[in-house]
Amino acid sequence: MVRLKHVAIGAVGLPILILLGAWIGFFNVGASSGHWKVTAWFLQFAMRSAVRTYALAVDAPKTLDRRGLPAAAGHFARGCAICHGAPGQLRSPAVLRMLPQPPDLALTVRDWTDAQLFRIVKHGIRFTGMPAWPARDRDDEVWAMVAFLRELPKLDANEFRALSFDGSDATGSDRQPAVPDALADCTRCHGSDGGGRGGLVPALAGQKEPYLIASLRAYAKGDRTSGFMALPVTGIAPDEMAALARHFAALPPVPGDHDQIPAETISRGQHIAEVGIPEKNVPACSGCHTGPNRNPIYPRLDGQHAAYLEEQLKLFRSEGRGGTQFWRIMATAAQRLTDDDIRAVSSYFASRSEGPQ
């Protein structure tokens, strides 16, 4: 018969026994063999249960936005495929010896809901090689990755390469003689023409060199956060940043979004851009972003993708985006804009081809 004293002895003795086993090296931590089956089952059970529970707090959209697929695919090819594999891209023998082994996501992604995938991508999984998202405040990027993971099982090798890299040759030129690899990382998302692949990726062609250099430095320092940009800017030397900025600044500006936009939306956006909203103390956008004499560290907005502008203004509004030393000016202005204001002014600038620069 089990008595209370037996329970007490067990409660005290079991931890001591476990500590003793750890101290004498009883537990094998070598990666040449896996966990005991019961341990592996328990860890898998605990992981799935935790993801399921924490995902209950995730507000998943009814429809995933596909406009960020090129950027998500480029990030996956650059930072994820080495462990998880990709269509037409086999994993290395070293990865296949990892314990636990990273899953082939094309086969397992259907096991998770969108909210659960969001939870895993954003926060990672402890005791595995799965890291948290590099920019914890960029839920927009995490949702783009979830949208890509939903597409992954449908892609063959050619489709994956077309989505993850636009396929053009990223070779040197007189403008960027020493950065073909860095340029290839850029064109994965921004395109060889600098026009931005997908509505959520900015057009870089025709931007001023000082703005592009300042942005790269802000990403590298962490003043401006982005999981998509975290890998490409890692290890780029200052001269390489300058070469990349020269390259994209020299490209001719390309048209941005030219979808059918209601005239009243364009008119409202034009008013905000040229006059501002005086009753809310919102200055006119054109004061900083339009005209040949503007500060070169301010970006060109004409022809930029409307979806990108809208997302950036919302990030400024929530103070989820930093950047150059002038970012707080934008944050203050954006906090006084409604969603309709943001949509209108973004649509207006996207409808313009090339204003006076």
- Half-sphere exposure of residue 55: CA atoms within 13 angstroms, side-chain side: 18
In the prediction, which pLDDT does 182 show?
A: 83
* Mean pLDDT of all residues in 208-231: 93
In the prediction, which pLDDT does 32 show?
A: 79
pTM for the model stands at 0.86
Sign of the dihedral through C-alpha 283, 271, 315, 206: negative
Please give the mean pLDDT across all residues of the chain.
Answer: 88
* Confidence tier at 1 by pLDDT (50, 70, 90): low
119 pLDDT higher than 70: yes
> In the CATH hierarchy, which fold is given to the domain comprising 180-250?
Cytochrome Bc1 Complex; Chain D, domain 2 (1.10.760)
> Smallest Cα–Cα separation from 233: which of 96, 75, 68, 77?
75
Task: Please check whether the two domains, 180-250 and 263-351, share a CATH topology.
Answer: yes
* Mean pLDDT of all residues in 69-94: 91
Answer for the pair 327, 316: CB distance below 8 angstroms, yes or no. yes
User: What percent of the chain lies above the pLDDT cut of 90?
Assistant: 62
* Mean pLDDT of all residues in 292-297: 84
Q: Rounded to an integer, what distance in angstroms lies between the CA atom of residue 172 and that of residue 154?
A: 34
Q: What is the pLDDT of residues 3-27, one digit of tens each?
A: 777 677 777 778 888 888 788 887 7
218 pLDDT higher than 50: yes
The domain limits of the chain are 41-164, 180-250, 263-351
Q: What is the pLDDT of residues 146-196, one digit of tens each?
A: 999 999 999 999 999 999 987 544 343 434 434 567 888 899 999 999 999
Concatenated DSSP letters of 223-280: SS--HHHHHHHTT--HHHHHHHHHHHHHSPP---------HHHHHHHHHHHHT-BGGG
- Half-sphere exposure of residue 189: CA atoms within 13 angstroms, side-chain side: 28
* Mean pLDDT of all residues in 281-285: 94
Q: What is the pLDDT of residues 28-81, one digit of tens each?
A: 777 777 778 888 899 899 999 999 999 999 999 999 999 999 999 999 998 999
Enter the tokens of residue 135: 């920019």
254 pLDDT higher than 80: no
In the prediction, which pLDDT does 5 show?
A: 73
303 pLDDT higher than 80: yes
Residue 271 burial by CB count (10 A; 0-12/13-18/19+): exposed, middle or buried? middle
b/e for 138-166, b at 16 or more Cβ within 10 A?
bebbbbbbbbbbbbbeebeeeebbebbbb
In the prediction, which pLDDT does 356 show?
A: 44
> Smallest Cα–Cα separation from 148: which of 87, 84, 203, 71?
71
* Mean pLDDT of all residues in 316-322: 90
- Which CB contacts under 8 angstroms, 24+ apart, belong to 23-32? 31/97, 31/98, 31/99
Q: Rounded to an integer, what distance in angstroms lies between the CA atom of residue 226 and that of residue 177?
A: 27
SS3 (DSSP) at 2: coil
Please give the residue that has the higher pLDDT: either 293 or 267: 267
Q: How far out from the chain centre does Cα 245 lie?
A: 21
- Dihedrals phi, psi of 211, to nearest 5 degrees: -65, -45
Identify the CATH assignment for 41-164 out of 1.20.1300, 1.10.760, 1.10.3470, 3.30.450: 1.10.760
Residue 351 burial by CB count (10 A; 0-12/13-18/19+): exposed, middle or buried? buried
* Mean pLDDT of all residues in 112-141: 94
- Half-sphere exposure of residue 164: CA atoms within 13 angstroms, side-chain side: 25
> In the CATH hierarchy, which fold is given to the domain comprising 263-351?
Cytochrome Bc1 Complex; Chain D, domain 2 (1.10.760)
